[in-house]
Amino acid sequence: MGNMLGLCHVSKSFGGLVAVDNVSFTIEEGEIVGLLGPNGSGKTTVLNMISGSFRPTSGEIWYKATNISRMRAHDIVQVGIARTFQLVRVLGAFTCAQNVAAALAFHPGGAFGRAAVERIERLLDTVGLVLKADALASDLTYIDLKRLELARALALDPSVLLLDEWLAGLSGTELDDGIALIRSLRTQGLTILLVEHVMRAIRALCDRCIVLSSAVKIAEGATGDVLSDPRVVTSYLGSHDA
Ligand SMILES: Nc1ncnc2c1ncn2[C@@H]1O[C@H](COP(=O)(O)OP(=O)(O)O)[C@@H](O)[C@H]1O
Ligand SMILES: [Mg+2]
């Protein structure tokens, strides 16, 4: 065990708007941590800073012993952090296998030839898409699109995975399948930071939760404790996401 990821007094402003205000937390190896909060509270901005889409206005972000605060997104992928997006991003005109191949090509340790074919098959198998390897991404159902986006993130061979509302829009058995899939990733050694609103998923998956409200961290701790914290309950009131 050890710290995989650490935010130290991180803030982000867009012009006059403070989207993330002096947020600190750490994530240990092998944890699944939930990042919660009402719409607009700064969750995606936190993921954007960790993954290098935005630089923090102030504060530091550490991956193990490396200060990644000022690294570019491309380099942050190389150190071992991958993400999915709140709005799914895949290549619609390509097959599932081609989508994963394109992601693999981004990784310098990535495979070629026969090894690549096997790796693509294993990744599609991990996310439950192996039978749809040759289906066009544009023909996939919503859950399968999400599976494909996850396979693309896993192709980057990350140690830390950032999921931005990956389970949103799923219900019933699809949600159960999604929860089981994320749990299986932890078993494979991944450390996961999960932005999520779906309470059933949060309770089923997260060891700990961190809660943002209006850019500020208002709670952090074991999932059960955090979800019954009166400040957290209040911050979700009036929010249809809760
Ligand atoms: N690129 C951006 N430019 C300007 N404002 C932004 C940008 N990204 C996010 N914001 C603002 O920052 C705040 C937090 O947004 P976000 O991190 O997306 O919240 P959440 O993911 O918790 O819903 C919002 O007020 C949002 O409008
Ligand atoms: Mg968001």
Tens digits of per-residue pLDDT, 119-149? 999 999 999 999 999 999 999 998 999 999 9
44 assigned to some structural domain:
yes
Q: pLDDT, tens digit, for every residue of 39-51?
A: 999 999 999 999 9
Residue nearest to atom 8 of ligand 1 (CA): 45
Residue 16 alpha carbon to ligand 2 centre in Å: 19
96 assigned to some structural domain:
no
pLDDT over 90 percentage in the chain: 81
Residue 36 alpha carbon to ligand 2 centre in Å: 10
Ligand 1 atom at minimum distance from 39 CA: 23
Residues 33, 194 contacting (CB under 8 angstroms): yes
pLDDT category at 234 given cuts 50, 70, 90 is: confident
SS3 48: helix
Residue 239 has pLDDT above 80, yes or no: no
Q: What is the mean pLDDT of residues 78-91?
A: 85
Residue 2 has pLDDT above 90, yes or no: no
pLDDT category at 90 given cuts 50, 70, 90 is: confident
Residue nearest to atom 9 of ligand 1 (CA): 45
Q: What is the pLDDT of residue 78?
A: 92
Q: What is the pLDDT of residue 92?
A: 82
SS3 string of 180-240?
HHHHHHHHCCCEEEEECCCHHHHHHHCCEEEEEECCEEEEEEEHHHHHCCHHHHHHHCCCC
pLDDT over 70 percentage in the chain: 95
223 assigned to some structural domain:
yes
Residue 25 alpha carbon to ligand 2 centre in Å: 18
89 assigned to some structural domain:
no
Strand order in the sheet with 66-67: 17-28, 3-14, 58-63, 66-67
Q: What is the pLDDT of residue 106?
A: 72
| Close Cβ partners of 117 (under 8 Å, ≥ 6 residues apart) | none
Q: What is the pLDDT of residue 237?
A: 58
Q: pLDDT, tens digit, for every residue of 187-207?
A: 999 999 999 999 999 999 999
Of 114, 123, 192, the residue nearest 156 (C-alpha): 123
Domain that holds residue 53: 1-80+189-242
214 assigned to some structural domain:
yes
Ligand 1 near 19 CB (within 6 A): yes
Give the alpha-carbon dihedral of 45, 154, 106, 160, to 10 degrees. 50
73 assigned to some structural domain:
yes
Q: What is the pLDDT of residue 240?
A: 47
227 assigned to some structural domain:
yes
6 assigned to some structural domain:
yes
Ligand 1 near 42 CB (within 6 A): yes
Residue 169 alpha carbon to ligand 2 centre in Å: 14
Instruction: Residue 3: give its domain's CATH number.
Output: 3.40.50.300
Residue nearest to atom 10 of ligand 1 (CA): 19
Ligand 1 atom at minimum distance from 38 CA: 22
Of 57, 61, 78, 77, the residue nearest 69 (C-alpha): 61
Ligand 1 near 194 CB (within 6 A): no
| Number of structural domains found in the chain | 1
Which ligand lies nearest the alpha carbon of 41? 1
Q: What is the pLDDT of residue 108?
A: 65
Residue nearest to atom 12 of ligand 1 (CA): 19
